[in-house]
Chain A
Amino acid sequence: MKNTESPGLSERFNARSIREFSSKNAIVLVLIGLVVFIGFVQSSFLSLDNLVNILRISSVRLIIALGCGGILITAGTDLSAGRTVGLAAVIVASLVQRPDYASKIFPSLPYLPLFLPILAGVAAGLIVGIINGFVVAFLKVPPFIATLGTMVIAQGASSLYVDRPPRGAQPIGGLRGDFTDLGTGSLGFNDTWAIPTIILIAFVIFFLYWVMLNKTRLGKNIYAIGGNLNAAVVSGVNVKKNLITVYVLGGILYGLAGVLLAARSGGATNNYGQMYELDAIAAAVIGGVSTNGGIGTAGGILTGVLIFEVLNNGLVVLGVSAYWQMVVKGIIIVSAVALDIRKYTKKR
């Protein structure tokens, strides 16, 4: 691409360059196409309220998909993502119940400063991440199996955590307003000029992850490990250290996502996060992350997540029946990836 010296207008818009552009950005075009189509059929889809709502929902999903995405790029996978989100959600929710709420998980819980419960939720994710990283990097268990194990463990752990005396298993509700503000509130000068906090947090995380992937040694190593493990080893990459780091980063992000999910929905149950790992992996793959490793970008993952959530919201707004929603989603996943994969297959 670098050898093109300011091409003329006619050259820039010739058929070949359009084709190249569209194959390179196929996935963004799919997203724009979806938004335009749904907005054309049902104009309220394009209302500011609805678009902001889609971004709110996408925020949690993006954070999970980024965590998963980095791991996918190392040619790994993380099935524990969803249940880890759930574990973090129940832990943080149990620690921020209103003092006057009748059925608190911890009846004599004092009023904790907000950062403590949040740290506890993130720490739960961190611990799962450490286990994943250790098992994958040192015990050489294939990531699919290692994280399948931690997925089941996290599910069990969140059920054990919720199902405790004196009240036994129950949904956790009655969360403090200052906590749910994280998910439902906004930051800004006044009501009209404000950005929802959760979107802001997701944006910061996205930016940091983008910097990590593109500007740091860790990022380069992640691509190297996923692209060609042997070459990475030969060129002196500390595979174990980098693998552990990427799984731990993933765990931290799932923990944070769980915290935000509880804040956005105002509660938590022990089946929170169920199947989120598959949505995250699908979104990452739609966004151009290769499950064979070595390929993928933060921007692609963002696009994949947005396509998913635009579909989730748009199909309901259009009044498509629940069964057809599944069929349409399946078709779009497969065709989006089929479109996108052409840019890699052509190179070979």
Chain B
Amino acid sequence: MKKLLMVLVALALVFAIAGCNKAPVKPKIGVAIYKFDDTFMSYVRNQIEAAAKDKIELSVQDSQYDQPKQNDQVDQFLTQGATALAINLVDPSAVSVIMDKAKAKKIPLVLFNREPDAADMAKWDKVYYVGAKAQQSGTMQGEIVVAYWKAHPEADLNKDGKLQYVMLMGDPSNTDAKFRTEFSIKAVEDAGIKTEKLAEDTAMWDRVKAQEKMAAFLTANKGKIEVVFANNDDMGLGAIEALKAAGYFKGKKYMPVVSVDATPPALDALEQGTLLGTVLNDAVKQGQATYDLAFALATGAKEIKSDVAPLAKADGTVDPTGKYIWVPYVKVTKENYKDFKK
């Protein structure tokens, strides 16, 4: 008899707990960032957190550049009752694992900044992507250089009509790095300027490494380099330090350096006249668009949209049934850098 009673009590408890789950679901977004010590992603994260403040509950996790860890974090979000996920993938090619988890619980998924393959994106209708078209950042770098080259005939040091350049790449396995490298040069060539690559090496997005590689480039190509392309600001600024050590930016000795990101130190370098131009990957707008989509999905809004940019297809064409939001890049040079100082 006692045993039966115990079983009944236990059953009652189980139902009581199960009943709790039936209560109206509080909207909640689980956010995972591929790693916290990436400067750009911390701007994105700051904006997501600022936008969500007092509006919706957020749980933000650091995936520490570890995809299995991120998968565990997604499991945790799902068991804690997240109603939407905003995931900055560690390894974009491994998206299917996370997508399957979300799909099984019918929790919509917003991916951002690190883009998965379009074929993976097509596998489910509740998955969105927010990011920038990396090609565009390269193209804009090239355009800044073209404008400078045309306005300054003396930039062609050896007067051969060709633009001799060196390229500081980010992590070569990263698609942004590949696109920036490829499309910056393509934009120059498309403008009818022939180019010659003197050196290309990876500095892994790192300022110190870029400074060291640039010094070696200068040694190997003394007086021949006409333009320096860097895949991001940290590397561009490292290159500038190496150039300073080699006597550039004093008197008339100048070297055009272009990079991407428009970080505060890069804006400072624009003001000092050492950096020719940078391209802003708009972290604030990326964070805002990510939040907009995640919020709409988490609260079950009828219309999924963001004021940052319209929904579009993978190739960039605007389409209300699309699942992509492409946040535009912005060219930042001496003329407009003041607008971006925060």
A contact set with B: CB distance below 8 Å: 42, 44-45, 47, 49-50, 53, 56-57, 101-103, 155, 159, 163, 167-174, 184, 261, 264-267, 269-272, 274, 312-314, 316-319, 321-323
Specify which of A47, A169, A270, A318 is in contact with B43 (CB 8 Å cutoff).
A169
Distance of B278 from chain A, by nearest CB (Å): 13
Whether A171 contacts B234 in the complex (CB less than 8 A), given A184-B245, A269-B39, A272-B208, comes out as yes
Residues of B within 8 A of A261 (CB): 208
Bound CA span A167–B246, Å: 33
1/0 per residue, CB under 8 A from A, across B217-234: the answer is: 101101000000000011
A-B contact pairs, 22 of them (CB 8 A): A44-B222, A45-B219, A45-B220, A53-B215, A159-B36, A163-B36, A167-B342, A170-B39, A171-B263, A172-B265, A173-B264, A173-B265, A173-B266, A266-B241, A269-B39, A270-B37, A271-B37, A313-B212, A313-B215, A316-B216, A318-B220, A322-B169
Residues of B within 8 A of A101 (CB): 268
Q: How many A-B residue pairs have CB under 8 A?
A: 123
Across the interface, do B208 and A265 meet the contact criterion of CB distance under 8 Å? Answer: yes
Residues of B within 8 A of A47 (CB): 219, 222
Judged by a CB distance under 8 angstroms, whether B300 is at the interface is no
Whether A316 contacts B213 in the complex (CB less than 8 A), given A102-B264, A171-B265, A265-B208, comes out as yes
Residues of A within 8 A of B219 (CB): 44-45, 47, 49-50, 53, 313, 317
Whether A313 contacts B37 in the complex (CB less than 8 A), given A168-B46, A169-B42, A266-B237, comes out as no
Across the interface, do A271 and B206 meet the contact criterion of CB distance under 8 Å? Answer: yes
Bound CA span A103–B338, Å: 12
Whether A267 contacts B207 in the complex (CB less than 8 A), given A174-B268, A316-B220, A317-B220, comes out as yes
Across the interface, do B264 and A170 meet the contact criterion of CB distance under 8 Å? Answer: yes
Residues of B within 8 A of A44 (CB): 219-220, 222
Residues of B within 8 A of A317 (CB): 216, 219-220
Residues of B within 8 A of A321 (CB): 201
Judged by a CB distance under 8 angstroms, whether B250 is at the interface is no
Whether A322 contacts B241 in the complex (CB less than 8 A), given A102-B341, A168-B43, comes out as no
1/0 per residue, CB under 8 A from A, across B40-60: the answer is: 001100100000000000000
Residues of A within 8 A of B213 (CB): 316
Beyond the given pairs A169-B43, A316-B220, 7 more chain A to chain B contacts, judged by CB atoms under 8 angstroms and listed by A's residue number, are: A49-B246, A168-B43, A169-B36, A173-B266, A264-B211, A272-B207, A313-B212
Residues of B within 8 A of A168 (CB): 42-43, 46
Residues of A within 8 A of B241 (CB): 184, 264-266
Whether A173 contacts B42 in the complex (CB less than 8 A), given A45-B219, A322-B172, comes out as no
What size tier do the contact residues of chain B reach? Answer: 35 or more
Bound CA span A319–B224, Å: 15
Across the interface, do A171 and B208 meet the contact criterion of CB distance under 8 Å? Answer: no
Q: Which of B222, B241, B269 has the most CB of A within 10 A?
A: B241
Residues of B within 8 A of A57 (CB): 212, 215
7 closest A-B pairs by CB: A173-B265, A169-B42, A103-B264, A316-B216, A50-B219, A168-B46, A322-B202
Judged by a CB distance under 8 angstroms, whether B199 is at the interface is yes
B contact set with A: CB distance below 8 Å: 36-39, 42-43, 46, 169, 172, 199, 201-202, 206-208, 211-213, 215-217, 219-220, 222, 233-234, 237-238, 241, 244-246, 263-269, 341-342
Distance of B275 from chain A, by nearest CB (Å): 11
Across the interface, do A159 and B37 meet the contact criterion of CB distance under 8 Å? Answer: yes
Residues of A within 8 A of B212 (CB): 57, 312-313, 316
Bound CA span A110–B180, Å: 40
Bound CA span A215–B205, Å: 43
Chain A minimum-CB-distance residue to B211:
A265
Residues of B within 8 A of A312 (CB): 212
Residues of B within 8 A of A318 (CB): 220
Bound CA span A313–B211, Å: 11
Residues of B within 8 A of A319 (CB): 199, 220
Residues of A within 8 A of B42 (CB): 163, 168-170
Chain B minimum-CB-distance residue to A180:
B241
Across the interface, do A269 and B246 meet the contact criterion of CB distance under 8 Å? Answer: no
Whether A169 contacts B39 in the complex (CB less than 8 A), given A49-B246, A102-B264, A265-B207, comes out as yes
Residues of A within 8 A of B220 (CB): 42, 44-45, 316-319
Specify which of B37, B43, B264, B267 is in contact with A155 (CB 8 Å cutoff).
B37
Distance of B60 from chain A, by nearest CB (Å): 12
Distance of B37 from chain A, by nearest CB (Å): 5
Residues of B within 8 A of A155 (CB): 37
Bound CA span A78–B130, Å: 41
Residues of B within 8 A of A159 (CB): 36-37
Specify which of A56, A167, A267 is in contact with B265 (CB 8 Å cutoff).
A267
Distance of A268 from chain B, by nearest CB (Å): 8
Bound CA span A45–B218, Å: 10
Across the interface, do A316 and B201 meet the contact criterion of CB distance under 8 Å? Answer: yes
Bound CA span A93–B43, Å: 20
Bound CA span A171–B263, Å: 7
Bound CA span A184–B250, Å: 14
Bound CA span A136–B114, Å: 41
Q: Which of B212, B219, B264 has the most CB of A within 10 A?
A: B219
Across the interface, do A170 and B268 meet the contact criterion of CB distance under 8 Å? Answer: no
Bound CA span A167–B213, Å: 30
Distance of A161 from chain B, by nearest CB (Å): 11
Across the interface, do B217 and A53 meet the contact criterion of CB distance under 8 Å? Answer: no
Distance of B342 from chain A, by nearest CB (Å): 7
